[in-house]
Structure 1
Amino acid sequence: MATTAKKAAQRQGFKTGEHIVYPAHGVGQITAIEEQNVAGFSLELLVISFEQDKMTLRVPVAKIPSVGMRKLSDAAAVKKALETVRGRPRVKRTMWSRRAQEYEAKINSGDLIAIAEVVRDLYRSESQPEQSYSERQLYEAALDRMSREIAAVNKTSETEAVRQIEQNLAKSESRKAAAAAAAAETDSEDDEDTQEEAA
């Protein structure tokens, strides 16, 4: 199987050196455009590196639309995402397993605003009751995806992006009161789970 690396600058509007969002893995960077011969057919592939995960993906150019790969959000979308985390948390009164699936689907959608909603809904300030292990895992996954994209858009470090998100989370006073009330409701439902996990 012959692979030739191309200096090719652009395919379907994506170019080498550019950061992109791949829904299932978050922010990656296109490091090359390669051509492979598979069973007599020439196949063009984007080589995408995900530095934090130490992973490289080869995506056929023809599959770009179906995998939902997109360019980084613009500054306006980042601003909207940060406004979203300042909003009031919306916690549905459904079973945790159902909510967890919905949160996971939002995280893997690659949509910055949907990811910001997960960060907003699962955030707990220090004065609030502790999250269950699975809630914390989902919160951290969403925060990680959101901060990586904001860092790439603003050309800052991830640490700086996390700080920016957390500052916005802490800004809303109404959020604190609402979150405390929501936590009190959820607390009575999830009390048994938390006790089991703590045991």
Structure 2
Amino acid sequence: MLLLQIGDKVVYPMHGAGVISGIENCEVLGEGKSYYVLEMPLGNMKVMIPTDNADNVGLRDVIPQQKVDEVREVLEEEPEKPKGSWNKRFHANLDRMKSGDICDVAAVARNLILQDRRRHISSGERRLLDLAKQILVSELVYACDKTPKEVENWLTSVLSANAFAH
């Protein structure tokens, strides 16, 4: 079981990375529960996660700086060939992102960005791409100790240099 403290940087799958800003006790339906208050830097959002459910929702530590190279490698790899209808691809990508693994999120972002350059992606896939980029940027901000803009620029340059991008 995760024992988190105020100030810990964590990732909440499908939402991105944030900082535990507090631990609050709230009463819901007559039952007292303890919640982690997670402040998300992108979108200025606060999320409350029951402390006894943190493991079940996939809450995890931000990746260490050393794993950023692994993320770069995923971004530099050949994109997977799109298979099936956009709807099937959308659900396969969504499932991949729900895993909470930053390398899976990076692969989804890479595939959709490079696919969009060849032929435009659907509006549903565009929303998924935006979410994948937001999740990726939010975690890399903490892992690299950089601003969101610096991380976005890095992401753009790595994907622009992808040998399979053209």
Q: TM-score of the superposition, structure 1-length normalised?
A: 0.73
Asked whether the equivalents of residues 77 and 162 of structure 2 are also in contact (C-alpha less than 8 Å), the reply is: yes
Q: C-alpha displacement at 1:112, in angstroms?
A: 0.2
What is the number of equivalent residue pairs in this alignment? 166
Provide the C-alpha distance between the structure 1 equivalents of 2:136 and 2:123, rounded to a whole number of angstroms: 20
Alignment partner of 1:122 is 2:112: yes
Paired position in structure 2 for 1:111 = 101
Which structure is larger by alpha-carbon Rg, 1 or 2? Answer: 1
- For 1:16-165, list aligned pairs within 5 A: 16-36=6-26, 42-124=32-114, 128-165=118-155
Q: Give per-residue Cα distances to partners, 1:77-136, cap 9 Å, x unaligned.
A: 221111101000002421210110111222233210000110111113896443333332
Amino acid at match of 2:88: R
Which stretches in structure 2 are left out of the alignment for 5+ residues?
A: none
Determine the C-alpha separation between the residues in 1 that align with 2:127 and 2:134: 10
The structure carrying a bigger helix percent of its residues is: 1
Q: Any conservation in 1 of the 2:13–2:57 contact (CA below 8 Å)?
A: yes
Across the aligned residues of Structure 1 and Structure 2, the Cα RMSD in angstroms comes to 2.4
> Unaligned regions of 5+ residues in structure 1, if any?
1-10, 178-199
Q: SS where residue 106 of structure 2 aligns?
A: helix
Which residue does the alignment assign to 1:172?
Answer: 162
Q: Structure 1 stretches (4+) deviating beyond 3 angstroms?
A: 36-42, 124-132
- When residues 106 and 15 of structure 1 are mapped into structure 2, their CA distance, relative to the original with a 3 A threshold, is same
Query: Structure 2 length normalisation: TM-score?
Result: 0.86
Structure number with the bigger relative contact order (C-alpha 8 A, sep ≥ 6) is 2
SS in 1 for 2:54: helix
Contact 1:86 1:170 in 2 (8 A): no
Q: Which moved more, 1:158-167 or 1:102-111?
A: 102-111
